[in-house]
Structure 1
Amino acid sequence: MKKSILFLGFALWGFISNAQETSFGVKAGLNYAYINGSDVKDINPTFKYHAGALINIGITQFFSIQPEFLYSVKGYSSDQVDLDLTYLDLPILVKVKFSDQISLHVGPQLGYLISANQKSDLGEDDVKDQLRSFDLALASGLEYEMNSGLSFGARYTFSVESIGDDYEEETTTTVNGVTNTVKTNVKAPDYKNGVIQLFAAFKF
């Protein structure tokens, strides 16, 4: 993993050094987040948010590479519980301009799970150990850019694999003063992140 990150860093630096034009920016926006998958039942979408920074590396007049570094909150809501999933997302997007204002972007996204909190009437639980640390997703969207550097866009991201991870559940019982603890392996449900994002960005 460290070698892969180092390789990506050198590759990114090579792109920046040879780019026709490189711009930096910040962005923030709304997440319309939900969970899908074969085990999803009675789960509703929820509104969350994302924010971060970007680098746009121009290759030609109409073609560029755009890595982004995003703090993004996802999850779902239901009648019983609400789940907040906080990720550090790294999308690496290929960006194609159809005109000076309108562009299409598409590419892979790797997310690192920072926290996973499940809230109910009984309180709040940390369920990070029930989820995978990394979430591989695909992203695609459209963006409208103004001459001032301000832009607005929409994006859809979805997990390629389930974000659930098998875990152990402990059950403790006491009979006649003797305490017994039984560990049970629990198979992870088939859950996948899906997010529709609306955002504003500013490049400088």
Structure 2
Amino acid sequence: MKKILFLFFAFGLIASTAQAQFGIRAGLSSANFSDTNYKAHLGFHGGVYYTLGTEFLSVEPGVQFAQKGFETNQIPSGDVITESFNYVDVPVLVRLSFLPGLNVFAGPQASMLLSRNREEPGNNQTSTDIIKGYDIGGVVGIGASFPMGLNFQLSYDLGMSNLNYYDANVKNRVLKLSVGYDIYRRY
């Protein structure tokens, strides 16, 4: 009974000191496939997030649109081939603030493929049949929060699912640089 009362008290204390933030985040991304010699594809990502927790530890689910893909050269002509994939990413991050304004974060991420566009001279393809329609992975990164609700973060997405791209075992790898703004803050 003492343990139950202690847990109830601890949960009440955390809930009463919890902070909540709702905001928007957008930025640039540099995406590629693992285990390939392709060039990185520059893209955009943007979406919303909701943070709930204390000053030291918080949980942040979010939803964002993300462009991924790669660039390569066609052999033997050397023509540029650009492969673009549009995803909806749903990360659930755990943030740990170790200094005022600085935090590290990590967590799982589920992604769903929305569309595909392969551009090469004389041929554009949009069929998504050649790649798996979802990706399960993780996110790690570091963030900085500033007064007035402004925040920045650098993150790395590690896809863990085999995308089966033209029957090849490849995974998404994305480096993201983001700027965010807290629309709503409760302290």
Do they superpose with TM above 0.5?
Answer: yes
Match of 2:57 among 54, 63, 68: 63
For residue 73 of structure 2, give the secondary structure of its aligned residue in structure 1: coil
Match of 1:48 among 43, 47, 54: 43
2:180 maps to: 201
2:135 maps to: 135
**CA separation of 1:127/1:164 partners in 2, compared to 1, >3 Å: closer, same or farther?**
farther
1:125: Cα distance to partner? 0.4
2:113 maps to: 113
Paired residue type of 1:152:
F
Q: Is the 8 A contact 2:144 2:153 kept in 1?
A: yes
* Matches of 1:76 and 1:194, distance apart in 2: 10
For residue 82 of structure 1, give the secondary structure of its aligned residue in structure 2: strand
* Matches of 2:90 and 2:52, distance apart in 1: 15
1:73 maps to: 67
Paired residue type of 1:56:
T
1:55: Cα distance to partner? 0.3
For residue 138 of structure 2, give the secondary structure of its aligned residue in structure 1: strand
2:98 maps to: 98
Residue-by-residue CA offset, 1:95-116 (whole Å, 9 max, x unaligned): 1001220000100000000001
Residue-by-residue CA offset, 1:20-45 (whole Å, 9 max, x unaligned): 121100000000111113xx3x4111
For residue 175 of structure 2, give the secondary structure of its aligned residue in structure 1: strand
1:123 maps to: 123
Paired residue type of 1:66:
E
Q: Is the 8 A contact 2:19 2:55 kept in 1?
A: no
How is 1:19-38 mapped onto 2 (pairs within 5 angstroms)? 20-37=18-35
Q: Which consecutive aligned stretches of 4+ in structure 1 deviate over 4 angstroms post-superposition? A: none
Residue-by-residue CA offset, 1:72-107 (whole Å, 9 max, x unaligned): 000000113210000000000001001220000100
* Matches of 2:106 and 2:147, distance apart in 1: 23
For residue 113 of structure 2, give the secondary structure of its aligned residue in structure 1: strand
For residue 130 of structure 1, give the secondary structure of its aligned residue in structure 2: coil
* Matches of 2:104 and 2:127, distance apart in 1: 36
Report percent identity of matched pairs. Answer: 24
In structure 1, the gaps of 5 or more residues are 1-17, 166-186
* Matches of 2:127 and 2:136, distance apart in 1: 19
1:126: Cα distance to partner? 1.6
- State the TM-score, normalizing by the size of structure 1: 0.76
How many pairs does the alignment contain? 162
In structure 2, the gaps of 5 or more residues are 1-14, 75-80
* Matches of 1:149 and 1:100, distance apart in 2: 14
2:156 corresponds to 1:156: yes
